[in-house]
Amino acid sequence: MVNKRKRQSFWSLKLREIGTKRASSPIASADEEGLRKQIAAWRRRVKLTNQVESPSGIPLREVYTPQDMPYFRYVSELGMPGEYPFTRGVYHTMHRGKLWTMRMFSGFGAPEDTNRRLKHLLENGETGLSIAFDMPTLYGYDADHERAKGEVGRCGVNVSSLADMKTIFEDIPLDRVSTSMTINAPAPVLTCMYVATAQEKGVPPEKLKGTTQTDILKEYVAQKEWVFPPEAHLRLIRDMIAYCTKHMPYWHHISISGYHIREAGANAFQELAFTLADGFAYVDLGLEAGLKVDDFAHRLSFFFNCDMDFFEEVAKFRAARRIWATAMRWKYGAKKQRSMLLRFHTQSSGASLTWQQPLNNIVRTTIEALAAVLGGTQSLHTNAYDEAWALPTEESATLALRTQQIIAEETGVPSVVDPLGGSYYVEWLTNEMEERAYRYLEKIESMGGILEAVKTGYIQREIAETSYKRQQQIEKGKTVIVGVNKYITTQESPIKTLKIDNAVQKRQIERLRILKDQRDSRKVKESLLRLKSTLMDTSANSMPAILEAVKARATLGEIMAVGREVFGEWKGPEAF
């Protein structure tokens, strides 16, 4: 091998900086000398036998003191809320000034079922919408496709055409509510459907507020709802970034998601590192589209998981803000403060919910929601207690919303910004999270970037390894899950759950038949032909052609089929 001197990456420079900081011992004052003696004496007195690790495997001391971070500097590492490096929060007054958005992930059955649920939640104090789509929609198949058999409306709402999208938002004022859509591979199509729905209601795209998830990179490693090869999806995302930056100034076109990475089995700092790596890849993509970093970076948003590891979660959120701000400023040369803000949505952990003793899940969700709030989230979904069994009932979803409302209105937690800041433990753990994330970021860059790391299966293997280890810990009883491997009840009493009827599929198929009967099929054909030639020309922006096809009443499946024809489908690396 040629011995080539490599240019130092930004991440390795950051790691070196941390190393230097650690090595430099500050001048000991009399007070610090006293502290050192006190701690040494305490250690002699206290018998310490058991080794304890955080759930991510970080060894933990019994107690943290200033001695654990003699290099800690308030101004450079924390700063004030709403100011660089934003460790303490992205806004000056955080939840005291404005509560987080209560955004419940909802969607099931046919569009009218979901429309009713959305209106119910809004009437009960929800402050933002979030739509869950079913598997056929997520994979870009219509309800009448062979592969959709048995899956329509089961994991979310089915959307096969613009008509379905319009039904979901019937009687909902799109100029006043913000909508998040958990859609990735077909994100451009669903965005166009939302735009068309709004336009028909007289709301122009420039007024629309909301988010499409669009984060395909984490699909390849975690949720695995991809359609095309990575390069094709990234090109479509590039088009979306450019289009939305120009026409939809309030739209978050990508929600860079750690949630699914965590659910797939990653630990807290893996979630942090892989999510940020994906985030920086999207910044690169925007730059590649010819945009300036300060023109689009502020529209990138994040989406994290909040699991049961209370302090790790808080530390993770704080570290995420600091790393993003630091890299946006120094690696990407962002000048505007808004480009440096890591704003995020949080969902309490689905994987932490247990099928056994489901009422325990209310307690889990409460603890996770509290950590998310203390970590400075901008919006929050709280899982319902029955979600290890099925999609939530109206009753359980309402209770989950109430959980947030109780935290917001009764605990006093929102009154003070970053109340855990300054805790020796939390600050130390924040630094740990940061350093471990930098190590992964450096490793990924040295492998040739995130796309390489995804295509070779490196990230997937890292996640699977952690997930298998955790399962083994559970099997051995070293990791306790109440009701699952300890405090087991022999007789579980069943709970009432939401059932999705097969009639939903029949109804959706019938609707498609009528739609195809009534629409101008020549217009549809022409729009799909134009779309095909646009997709084949990599320098073209595909969004206008997709919007045109949507408006001509081409279905989701038909539009995605054009993509499948042009780009082919992705198989993914060997997973086992």
Partner 1 sequence: MAAHVSLQKPAGKQRRIRILMAKPGLDGHDRGALVLCRAFRDAGMEVIYSGLLVTPEQVARIAVEEDVDVVALSLLNGAHMTAFPAVAKALRKTGASDIMIVGGGIIPDEDKRILEKEGITGNFGPGTPLKTIIGHIADRVEKKRHRKR
Owner of token pair 């500050």: 26
CB of 105 to partner 1, least distance (A): 16
**Residue 426 C-beta-side C-alpha neighbours within 13 Å:** 19
> Does position 481 bind partner 1 by CB under 8 A?
yes
The tokens of 390 are what? Answer: 């099925």
> Does position 568 bind partner 1 by CB under 8 A?
no
> Which of these ranges, 200-208, 434-442, 467-475, 525-533, lies near partner 1 under the rule CB under 8 A?
467-475
Sign of CA dihedral 390, 274, 71, 95: negative
Supply the DSSP string of 333-352, one letter for each residue.
Answer: ---SGGGG---EEEEE-STT
CB of 548 to partner 1, least distance (A): 28
Phi-psi sector, 150: left (phi>0), alpha (psi -120 to 50), beta: left
**Residues 379-398 as x/- pattern, contact with partner 1 by CB under 8 A:** ---------xxx--------
> Does position 497 bind partner 1 by CB under 8 A?
yes
Output 25 or 493, the one with its CB closest to partner 1.
Answer: 493
- Distance between CA atoms of residues 442 and 7, nearest Å: 12
22 forms beta bridges with: none
Output 200 or 492, the one with its CB closest to partner 1.
Answer: 492
The tokens of 56 are what? Answer: 């991510």
Pick the binder of partner 1 from 35, 351, 482, 561 (CB under 8 A): 351
CB 374 within 8 A of CB 341: no
Output 277 or 463, the one with its CB closest to partner 1.
Answer: 463
Instruction: Name, in order, each residue with C-beta under 8 angstroms of 171's C-beta and a sequence gap of 6 or more.
Output: 115, 119
Sign of CA dihedral 351, 356, 362, 367: negative
CB of 556 to partner 1, least distance (A): 14
**Residue 459 C-beta-side C-alpha neighbours within 13 Å:** 36
Pick the binder of partner 1 from 59, 202, 290, 494 (CB under 8 A): 494
Owner of token pair 């019938």: 510
> Does position 575 bind partner 1 by CB under 8 A?
yes
- Distance between CA atoms of residues 261 and 401, nearest Å: 24
Output 62 or 475, the one with its CB closest to partner 1.
Answer: 475
> Which of these ranges, 160-168, 238-246, 451-459, 480-488, lies near partner 1 under the rule CB under 8 A?
480-488
> Does position 159 bind partner 1 by CB under 8 A?
no
Pick the binder of partner 1 from 113, 144, 219, 313 (CB under 8 A): 219
- Distance between CA atoms of residues 111 and 190, nearest Å: 14
**Residues 128-157 as x/- pattern, contact with partner 1 by CB under 8 A:** -------xx-xx-x-----xxxxx--xx--
> Does position 74 bind partner 1 by CB under 8 A?
no
> Does position 264 bind partner 1 by CB under 8 A?
yes
> Does position 467 bind partner 1 by CB under 8 A?
yes
CB of 136 to partner 1, least distance (A): 6
- Distance between CA atoms of residues 132 and 108, nearest Å: 7
What DSSP state is assigned to residue 222?
A: I
Residue numbers at the binding site for partner 1 (CB under 8 A): 135-136, 138-139, 141, 147-151, 154-155, 219, 223-225, 263-265, 351, 354-356, 388-390, 464, 467-468, 471, 475, 481, 484-485, 494, 497, 500, 571-572, 574-576
